[in-house]
Amino acid sequence: MVAKLNKLGYFILTLLLLNPATVLAQSEDERPKTSLAEETEISTVITPSNKNAIFDVVAKYTFEVRNPTRDDQTGKISYSVADENGVKMRTDSIKVHVAKKSIGKYDFDITGKGPGFYKVDFTINTSDYDDTLHKVFGIKPELIKSNYQTPPDFDTFWQKAKADLAGVNPKFSATFMPEMSTKTCNVYLVQMQSLDNVTIRGWLTEPVSKDPNAKFSIVLALPGYQIDLPPIMTVDPDFAFLALNVRGQGNSREFINTRHDEFVIHHIDDKNKYVMRGVIMDCLRAMDFIYTRPEIRHDNIFVKGGSMGGFLAITTAALDNRVNLCSAQSPVFADMRTLIKRVQFPVKSINIYLKTQPGLTLDKVMDNLDYFDVKNFAPKVKCNFMMSVGLLDTYVPPTNDFAVFNSMTAKKKIMIFKDRGHEVSPIYTETELKWMHDQFGLYY
């Protein structure tokens, strides 16, 4: 069977799985598309010698100054290097002279301090032009490891959670929604009972088929932070889609209806009541639902998500070996103890909450969050896995996601995007789409 999955629709799906702050960045190819004769303003291009800005010892960059004006440009280019915690390591500068209607190129060799990622700010000041450009490069990221241990009772904690979930009558229902369906796609409102008897919902969409015995592979789409996932109307004759709204999100909010920033700290003082314990079990309950559907191929289940959805994709694959394929784009909650110094999310929300809770300390919170750190789930993933990381990500620094990726023993691959932050790349989306069809033995 030939799959006809619409690329634009799949890309929109991927956007929906990310944080609502997600936006598209510039093209992966930063080089100007015009000749100097067609340009009117001074511009700059910084190119690493490695396309992914990954190096063994020394980061090598070429700083290109494009001067289409009628005036010579004289000044300097400076750079400042810092580690991922913002601690400055080195500054340096060189003098530059770019003649009118010409291009000047200047090479920089920058050394890091062992495996990790480093921030470098390039600043140019010339007669008529000033600018600062932010870059990140990696030194042997394949050697990055977390310095923090997994709790000794981690497995026992999650076995108890799964046992508690098994004790809840799921009461699965799938209601056909004719007003939302189309000639090519049937839409069902899915409802089920999850951990603590919380009702969760989602949307199952299946292609209309003339074959009453047709069986579909399935994509379980898991949401980004505080995302309301709608039905996925992308048409593919081989695939069904289950868009899950976990508790506290989308049409699953009546039991937990927090404000945006409060969701992540809901019951964070008690690991047995923390919201993410239930959220992760919601994903496993969705897997239970998939296994009740005779029209779904239970050997072709692809679980994917971005941001919090990436976190949930990994935790689901780690705790449920029925997952056959997994993809995570910039998964959050990665090596969380190091996030305290590096990012605002979710650290800012946690610190605000601590001010309202006398006696509760950050150490206690971090002890609880160790049970929800995605790095502690990653080694348990057994299915084939794919991941993306943006080197400019301010939600999940690349060091943190590499600590997750490097701990995996499954067959895996990672795509690095040197000029992207916490966002999806169309290149990753298309690669993931082809990979999914190839892994499931379907034509694309």
Q: For the domain that residue 72 is a member of, what is the CATH number?
A: 2.60.40.10
Report the domain count for the chain.
2
Task: Give every CB contact of residue 427 below 8 A, 6+ residues apart in sequence.
Answer: 28, 415, 417
Identify whether 43 is part of a domain. no
Q: In the structure, what pLDDT confidence band is assigned to residue 424 with cuts at 50, 70 and 90?
A: confident
pLDDT at 205: 97
Q: Angle at Cα 176 formed by Cα 172 and Cα 181, nearest 5°?
A: 140
Residue 343 has pLDDT above 90, yes or no: no
Question: In whole angstroms, how far apart are CA 228 and each of 201, 212, 266?
Answer: 11, 32, 18
Range of the domain at 95: 57-139
Mean pLDDT of 109-117: 94
Provide the pairing of β-strand 185-193 with 199-207.
Answer: antiparallel
pLDDT above 70: residue 14: no
**Average pLDDT of the chain, as a whole number:** 92
Regarding whether 268 and 163 lie in a shared domain, the answer is yes
Nearest to 151 by CA among 310, 376, 302, 306: 376
* Same domain for 268 and 151: yes
**Do 431 and 339 lie in a common domain?**
yes
Q: What is the pLDDT of residue 1?
A: 38
Q: Do residue 204 and residue 77 come from a single domain?
A: no
* Stronger pLDDT, 12 or 137, i.e. the higher one: 137
Residue that wins the pLDDT comparison between 394 and 317:
317
> By percentage, how much of the chain surpasses pLDDT 70?
92
Are 101 and 151 within one domain?
no
d(CA 119, CA 136): 5
Task: Show the tokens assigned to 100.
Answer: 């009118």
The length of the chain, given as a count of residues: 444
Q: What is the CATH number of the domain that holds 250?
A: 3.40.50.1820
Identify whether residues 135 and 278 lie together within a single domain.
Answer: no
